């Protein structure tokens, strides 16, 4: 693919995924408020809920006990991850009918690059419709889809007409679309950044564009330049399959800054679990050779730390190593922390085959 070619990206996201699968298994639940999650009496939390339950104010990550108070008739079903994984694989098989350039983001969400797909005369919109139709007909759940020239816009588009929706942003529509797009729709712009931007009189991507790259870089460091790009609807990130992937990472922006080593250590288990979940989806022959961490401070400066490990004698999955690295990175300036990230670097297929050849010579 030449870099000048206009790309066609689809973002697929299942609607109320776990809950929809449970309703499929037990259709009597369809007209009732239902959630998937842990028991209220055991300090459980809600993983997700159907749209009827959402009308009562229930949402993911809420304590189940609170959810029951909001909606006493709520039915809470325990999760069945094995089943969700099966359905996820079935969705993937449907997507594979159109392209193998697929980047899964979680069990129910993926980007597809259909720039060179030949189906339907190359119409990304019709491919997205066909995927949606096949998922509904064959798996009895719904997915929403977004079609756009890049990942940033495709993800926003899939959310635009949710549930059971399709929204397309064609290249000529990008300019007008982003002008009115609220800044909090930008992935990574959470409550704190939105407030900070609102104080600067910025509410839409159009306002962000007007602010200009210099002011943005002054206020947000490197992230300022990224914000400027996104505000114009530009995003060059490729859809990364596990074959082309060079790294994998997870990060969390916190609603309250972290101030102490203990605060940071407490955030590690959840991040680490997410990293493990993402790593499980890699190709079985993917070779991980480095760990890295990222710390972003409240003034938007950031620092990263990366370390190789000996792949023949060691493995990447040591939470204590990530903790040590995070603290080491934090100690470089000891300022309040707004974001922590953990990541892994992978050897590309060529690098790993070179490595295998070196192994042969060594023996
Ligand atoms: P999402 O795609 O965030 O949400 P969803 O599919 O339930 O609903 P929708 O996209 O229509 O708004 O998450 C996908 C699945 O991941 C979700 O069904 C349950 C799980 N999940 C959790 O377990 N905990 C969470 O905090 C979130 C956000 C999701």
Residues 267-276 have pLDDT tens digits of 999 999 999 9
Confidence of residue 350 (pLDDT cuts 50, 70, 90): low
CB under 6 Å to ligand 1: residues? 13-18, 47-48, 60-61, 106, 108-109, 162-163
Stretch (H or E) spanning 10: strand 9-14
Q: In the chain, what are the domains? A: 9-16+82-171 (3.30.70.270), 19-79 (3.40.1170.60), 175-230 (1.10.150.20), 247-362 (3.30.1490.100)
In angstroms, rounded to a whole number, what is the distance separating the alpha carbons of residues 114 and 100?
9
In this model, does residue 187 exceed pLDDT 90? no
State yes or no: cis peptide before 163, omega within 30 of 0: yes
**CB 102, CB 241: distance < 8 Å:** yes
Mean pLDDT, to the nearest integer, of 308-333? 93
Three-state DSSP state, 38: coil
**CB 295, CB 249: distance < 8 Å:** no
Nearest residue (by CA) to ligand 1, atom 23, is 47
Phi-psi region of 133 (alpha: psi -120 to 50; beta: other; left: phi over 0): alpha
| Residue position matching structure tokens 């020239």 | 149
* Residue 16 Cα to ligand 1 middle (Å): 6
pLDDT reported for residue 351: 61
**CB 217, CB 224: distance < 8 Å:** yes
Q: What is the pLDDT of residues 282-319, one digit of tens each?
A: 777 788 999 999 999 999 899 999 999 888 888 999 99
In this model, does residue 1 exceed pLDDT 70? no
Instruction: Tell me how far CA of residue 348 lies from CA of 113, 177, 249, 285, in angstroms.
Output: 20, 37, 16, 11
Mean per-residue pLDDT over the chain, rounded:
92
- As separate numbers, helices (DSSP H) first and strands (DSSP E) second, the chain gives 14, 12
In angstroms, rounded to a whole number, what is the distance separating the alpha carbons of residues 92 and 110?
9
Nearest residue (by CA) to ligand 1, atom 28, is 60
In this model, does residue 355 exceed pLDDT 60? no
Confidence of residue 361 (pLDDT cuts 50, 70, 90): very low
In angstroms, rounded to a whole number, what is the distance separating the alpha carbons of residues 223 and 102?
27
**CB 272, CB 342: distance < 8 Å:** yes
Other C-beta atoms closer than 10 Å to the C-beta of 244 total: 13
In angstroms, rounded to a whole number, what is the distance separating the alpha carbons of residues 348 and 203?
41
Ligand 1: atom nearest CA of 18 is: 18
**CB 77, CB 35: distance < 8 Å:** yes
């Amino acid at each position: 693919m030449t870099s000048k070619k206009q790309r066609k990206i689809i973002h697929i996201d299942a609607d109320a995924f776990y809950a929809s699968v449970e309703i499929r298994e037990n259709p009597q639940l369809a007209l009732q408020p239902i959630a998937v999650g842990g028991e209220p009496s055991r300090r459980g939390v809600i993983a997700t809920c159907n749209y009827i339950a959402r009308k009562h104010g229930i949402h993911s990550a809420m304590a189940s006990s609170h959810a029951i108070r909001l909606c006493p008739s709520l039915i809470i079903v325990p999760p069945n991850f094995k089943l969700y994984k099966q359905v996820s694989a079935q969705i993937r098989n449907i997507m594979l009918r159109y392209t193998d350039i697929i980047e899964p983001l979680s069990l129910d969400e993926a980007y597809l690059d259909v720039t060179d797909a030949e189906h339907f005369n190359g119409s990304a919109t019709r491919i997205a419709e066909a995927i949606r139709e096949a998922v509904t007909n064959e798996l009895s759940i719904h997915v929403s889809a977004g079609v756009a020239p890049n990942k940033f816009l495709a993800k926003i588009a899939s959310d635009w007409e949710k549930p059971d929706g399709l929204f397309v942003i064609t290249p000529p529509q990008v300019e007008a679309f982003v002008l009115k797009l609220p800044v909090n729709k930008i992935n990574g712009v959470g409550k704190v950044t939105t407030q900070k931007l609102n104080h600067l009189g910025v509410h839409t991507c159009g306002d962000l564009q007007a602010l200009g790259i210099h002011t943005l870089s002054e206020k947000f460091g490197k992230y300022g330049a990224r914000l400027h790009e996104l505000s114009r609807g530009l995003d060059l990130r490729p859809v990364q399959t596990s074959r082309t992937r060079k790294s994998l990472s997870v990060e969390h922006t916190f609603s309250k800054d972290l101030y102490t080593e203990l605060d940071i250590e407490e955030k590690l288990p959840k991040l680490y679990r997410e990293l493990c979940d993402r790593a499980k989806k890699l190709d079985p022959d993917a070779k991980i050779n480095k760990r890295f961490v990222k710390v972003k401070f409240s003034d938007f400066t950031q620092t990263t730390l990366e370390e190789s490990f000996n792949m023949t004698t060691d493995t990447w999955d040591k939470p204590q190593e990530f903790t040590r690295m995070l603290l080491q990175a934090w100690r470089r300036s000891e300022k309040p922390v707004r974001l922590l990230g953990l990541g892994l670097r992978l050897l590309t297929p060529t690098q790993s085959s070179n490595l295998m050849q070196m192994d042969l010579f060594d023996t």
